[in-house]
Amino acid sequence: MSAKDITSYRGSLPERSGYKRVVAKYHNSSTGQTESITVGQGEPARTLSMQYPTREAAQAAVNAAIKGAERSKSSLEITLPGDPKLMAERPINITGLRAGLDGQWLIKTARHRMSGEGYGVSVKLVK
């Protein structure tokens, strides 16, 4: 789909692509020592500031943090004349908008509407 097909758009590009590795510290009651747990690999890394009471709590915290970093990716909302092929979970390729917004996207939601102005669709996309 090219920019000429799109009536309007609003895009969001994160300042950073999210953390690739998250570290959390927890208290090991068996040894009395502070230990850490890591999820992911690479940089950038984030160390959670809180010390968790158990390994399980630390594991849940790093899992939530890494998933949150994955969700911080780019988003795009477009409005265009109606197209019944546009539906959730369908990939779409956008060209001609601007750097960072062009490329492969996944439709998160598609809201179709009929009005006096005709058939239109508003689509929320994620990378």
- Give the pLDDT of residue 15: 54
CA separation for the pair 86, 80 (Å, rounded): 10
Instruction: Please report, in tens digits, the pLDDT of each residue of the chain (127 residues total).
Output: 999 999 999 988 765 556 788 999 999 999 999 999 999 888 888 999 999 999 999 999 998 888 776 655 678 999 999 999 999 999 999 999 988 788 889 999 999 999 998 999 999 998 7
- Give the pLDDT of residue 73: 66
- Give the pLDDT of residue 25: 97
Say if residue 53 is exposed, middle or buried (CB neighbours under 10 Å; 0-12, 13-18, 19+). exposed
- Give the pLDDT of residue 72: 55
- How many Cβ atoms from other residues are within 10 Å of residue 58's Cβ? 24
pTM, two decimal places = 0.57
